[in-house]
Amino acid sequence: MYKKFLQLTKNLTVSLEKGLNFLTTQENNPLYFHGALPLYTFWFLIFSGIMLWMYYIPTLDRAWTSVNYITSLPVFLKDAHGQLLLKNGIPVVNAISPATGIPYGAVVRGIHRWGAAAMMITTILHMLRVYFTDRHRSWRWLPWVSGVMLLMFVLFVGITGYLLVWDARAYSLVVSTQAWLAAVPLIGQWLSTFFIGGDAIRDFTLTRFFFFHIGGATFIFWLIWMHFIRLNEPVVTPSRAVNFLTLGFILVAAGVYPAVNVTNELIAQHPVLAVDKAFIASDAPAQIGNLVAVIRYDAWYLFPYYLMEKVGVNWTWIILGFAAILLLVAPFYPKDRRDNIAEVIEAKCTGCTFCSLDCPFEAITMQERAPGSKFKLIAVVFAPRCSECGICVGACPFQAIELPNTHSKTIEADVLALLKTGAQ
Amino acid sequence: MSELPPIVPAEKKRRVIVGFVCERSIPIHDMLDAHKALTDDPETKIIILPCSGMVKPTQMELALANGADATFVCGCAMNDCHYRTGNIMIRERLEGQRNPKLRKSTDKRKVGMFFFTMKDKRPFLEALAQFKASTENL
């Protein structure tokens, strides 16, 4: 039943991709680079994040101001007279100067913001694609489990990014998070205190959020290493055309909707900015004790808070916890019959390493033979990692590694038999 | 004067093509008759393998040396091998970029490569027909 479901999802996925192949060709179909795209978008976040880091000040009274300083000149257009314009056509009174803001700062922050959305979207796309094509089970459990952890950490780092702006929404999110953590039995109060770095929100709170954001992003690199550790020659970058397409999407989005801080006073002066606020802009500065009446939820990162508002903190724990457990056990069910695992024929193995180099799942290692042996090395198959694909068999020039149920000798006998019947 | 016998065109020689097909690429299990020939093209005989990366170039040489008019391998769509790299491996082996390679003496015009998804039965048959036509007078 479950396998039939996976077969159905695979059929649907392949049909969708086949349609896209007509437009993009197999070589440039973005859906075939679903694994490389999240990593590619992560680089945008790293580089734009380092640029933002140069000006960000993680204290209660300076955080919003420093972000505002970075983005107060959302300017990259000029009119016919050389007058600088906001992207909505509003003239800028002050010309670009370090005293009033950072040139293109809003665009860089926009790249960070849209890059974050792109990373979450591509991560979810990658996960769905892997699941729907049944490429998450059995010997692939480590990439899947590390992928689930990556998803969680991308979410965590994204949420902490929202807090760093320290606008009215960020304060409301912190209060919600404290309530959420406090609901954990026994250690809830401690978690809540640990989260804000003390018994009340103060400067250390933002320093801690900054650590969560940067430290979390650094930990993502370690998880990516775990994700790749059992993959031979992982695809880490999409094709050139897909690269440019992604780059174009993020740059255009950041140019058209750069990330800015928009206060209600500004909207009163320029109503057109309300559109920005609805999409991507931050609120007015946070004030301790002042919760926003309605939190603007971001679909990719703030859905846990939406859930909290709708069903309460306890049910949010239950729903998210249940989802996490389902994802973590998914690669272990259903179990496949594994009776065609590669076997090395010791007498024929010359230790040439071809099979080990070509194995897509790092299931073959080369080990030293006993002293005095004719050859120095021998291939050894680690059965739990073997996918029974036979790529090692194709790589071996000496017929020294075989799949027991699909033996090379049988294939060759079949070829000769087919030729015999075909000629008649 | 006795009548000349009518000119009867010589019967077209029956060709044999041997294909090595990955079972996760085209829907090959539904495309064969009882003699492991394609129902749409009885001249093409098929060996089914778990992955195109399992094909040894020597097996294709064996087919050619024993009477096959041409041989080909068919794997998953490029960049989408179920086992990640099988189609890339066999392509590189047949193009001489990865060991083990085809022998230099092998007529590479008689060796074909196709990469299709499980929904690509028709495009595969079209590509096969083209390949067969290109090898007809070799």
Residue A17 sits at φ, ψ, to 5 deg, of -70, -35
Contact residues, chain A, for B51 at CB < 8 Å: 389-391
For testing the chain B interface, which of A31, A415, A424 should be mutated: the one with the most B CBs within 10 Å?
A415
Give the chain B residue whose CA is nearest to the CA of A341.
B50
In the block, residue with structure tokens 């066999």 = B90
Nearest to B80 among A32, A387, A393 (CB): A32
Q: What is the CATH number of domain B17-135?
A: 3.40.50
DSSP lists the bridge partners of residue B72 as B19, B112
Contact residues, chain A, for B93 at CB < 8 Å: 394
In tens, the pLDDT along A159-175 reads 999 999 999 999 999 99
**H helix or E strand, kind and range, residue A63:** helix A63-71
Q: Say yes or no: B83 contacts chain A, CB-CB below 8 A.
A: yes
Ranges of residues in chain A with a pLDDT under 50 are: 74-78, 87-98
Give the chain B residue whose CA is nearest to the CA of A394.
B54
In the block, residue with structure tokens 């206060």 = A263
A343-423: CATH class: alpha beta
Nearest to A419 among B16, B80, B118 (CB): B16
In tens, the pLDDT along A383-392 reads 999 999 999 9
CA distance A207 to A58: 5
- What single-letter DSSP state applies at residue A381? E
Residue A344 sits at φ, ψ, to 5 deg, of -90, 135
Contact A391, A358 (CB under 8 A): yes
Q: Which of B43, B54, B53, B51 is nearest to B135 (CA)?
A: B43
- Could you tell me the two tokens for A358? 């070509």
Q: CA of A57: how far to CAs of A215, B68, B104, in Å?
A: 17, 73, 66
**H helix or E strand, kind and range, residue A47:** helix A36-53
pLDDT given at position A254: 86
Contact residues, chain B, for A33 at CB < 8 Å: 79
- The amino acid occupying position A422 is G
Contact residues, chain B, for A360 at CB < 8 Å: 53, 83-86
- Residues 9 through 68 of chain B touching chain A, CB cutoff 8 Å: 14, 16, 18, 35-37, 43, 45, 47, 49-51, 53-56, 58-59, 62-63, 66-68
Contact A380, A344 (CB under 8 A): yes
CA distance A191 to A180: 10
Contact residues, chain A, for B79 at CB < 8 Å: 26-27, 29, 32-33, 235, 239
Spans of all domains in chain A: 2-332, 343-423
pLDDT given at position A95: 35
DSSP lists the bridge partners of residue A377 as A368
For testing the chain A interface, which of B32, B45, B49, B54 should be mutated: the one with the most A CBs within 10 Å?
B54
Contact residues, chain A, for B45 at CB < 8 Å: 418-419, 421-422
Check the CA dihedral A60-A196-A121-B76 and report its sign: positive
- The amino acid occupying position A87 is K
- Could you tell me the two tokens for A224? 């990516």
CA distance A290 to A4: 53
- Residues 111 through 130 of chain B touching chain A, CB cutoff 8 Å: 115, 117-120
Contact residues, chain A, for B100 at CB < 8 Å: 354, 395-397
In tens, the pLDDT along B70-116 reads 999 999 999 899 999 999 999 999 999 999 999 999 999 999 999 99
> Which CATH architecture best describes the domain A2-332?
Up-down Bundle (1.20)
In tens, the pLDDT along B39-80 reads 999 999 999 999 999 999 999 999 999 999 999 999 999 989
Angle, alpha carbons A354-A357-A360 (nearest 5°): 120
Size of interface A-B (CB pairs under 8 A): 134
Radius of gyration (C-alpha) of chain A in whole angstroms: 27
> Do A354 and B100 count as a contact with CB atoms less than 8 A apart?
yes
Contact residues, chain A, for B69 at CB < 8 Å: none
Give the chain A residue whose CA is nearest to the CA of B65.
A416
pLDDT given at position A278: 60
Nearest to B50 among A17, A239, A406 (CB): A406
For the beta carbon of residue B20, count every other beta carbon within 10 angstroms: 24
Least Cα separation, residue A158 to chain B (angstroms)? 30
> Do A406 and B54 count as a contact with CB atoms less than 8 A apart?
yes
> Do A414 and B119 count as a contact with CB atoms less than 8 A apart?
no
CA distance A360 to A357: 8
Spans of all domains in chain B: 17-135
